[in-house]
Amino acid sequence: MMRKPTILVTRRMPPAVEARLKRDYDARLNPDDRIYSSEELIAKAAGADGMLICSSDKITPEVVAHLPESVKIIATFSVGYEHIDVMACEARGVIATNTPGVLTDATADIAFLLILAAARRAYEAQTMLRQGQWTGWHTTMLLGIDLAGKRLGIFGMGRIGQAVARRALGFGMEIHYHNRSRLPQELEAGATYHPTLESLLQVSDVLSINAPSTPETRNILNAERIALLPDGAIVVNTARGDMVDDAALIGALRSGKLRAAGLDVFAGEPNLNKEYLSLPNAYLLPHIGSATIETRDRMGFTALDNLDAVLLHGRPAPNRLW
């Protein structure tokens, strides 16, 4: 019988994904879900044919350089891949893959949850009620803003950005976007293209960040750019925290320049800037954009489809990064 390929699985996986891993591979699982250091990643990969990783694993050029020769593919259980040095992988002949497409709706749903929560002061309302401070209904209690008629600016109009736009149309919002390239008309669906982020910011009553984190987008929402947003705007981020200058965003939320923010992602997760915690106008979630049962299974299966293609079928990986 042919030997099953060995996979180093760096984090605990959903049960259905672990079942498929055990069926088809000699899987080195991580039942405790402890995050491995770079040294541990390298040591545990000894003799492995592939790795199934998450965005908490940093695949730096140093890690790639020290991985055993046996590793042919690194499949990440995520659409974002800023944690993988893809060029270093390619240079060493290691295939890197991600899981695009399968978490679009779940992430767009959370973007909308954040937009609604920020616009309607959900954190303050929840806190008032749970802390027994609700004295009864009155006409000016916890007033938020309507979404209908407001301009939604989408920074990054890929699959998730487009899914946010579809939802926003249902809420009667006007859609604007900035993307590296303009979408074909049928995908634009009436949205207004802005060739620069600066131009988009000026019309964004609500800004939704849906772009990938790259060296170019890191810290892109800084004090200068926040100043371009209309007074009282809302900022929502379901992409990556490192695109936002935290001190600038916190300052704008404190000063009232911005009405509110909704954040699912943070620089340095899980060690977010603690100042966010004291802001009543920041609605905060712990990176749960793709956290549905169905989506997490699909992410695992997509990562496995990539591993299977290369290690079981000798075929190109469907979601190769490069």
Q: Contact between 108 and ligand DGY (CB under 6 A)?
A: no
User: For ligand DGY, how many residues bind (rule: CB under 6 A)?
Assistant: 7
Which of the stretches 16-24, 78-86, 144-152, 196-204 binds ligand DGY when contact is defined by CB under 6 A? 78-86
The set of catalytic residues is: 240, 269, 287
Indicate which single residue of 41, 53, 79, 244 sits in contact with ligand DGY (rule: CB under 6 A).
Answer: 79
Indicate which single residue of 177, 289, 303, 317 sits in contact with ligand DGY (rule: CB under 6 A).
Answer: 289
Indicate which single residue of 27, 45, 51, 80 sits in contact with ligand DGY (rule: CB under 6 A).
Answer: 80
Q: Contact between 103 and ligand DGY (CB under 6 A)?
A: yes
Q: Min. distance of Cβ 286 from ligand DGY in angstroms?
A: 12
Nearer Cβ to ligand DGY, position 111 or 235?
111
Q: Contact between 208 and ligand DGY (CB under 6 A)?
A: no
Neighbours of 268 (CB within 10 A): 10
- Comparing CA positions, the residue from 140, 147, 138, 139 lying closest to residue 120 is 147
Q: Min. distance of Cβ 296 from ligand DGY in angstroms?
A: 10
Which residues here bind ligand DGY, judged by CB under 6 A? 55, 78-80, 103, 289-290
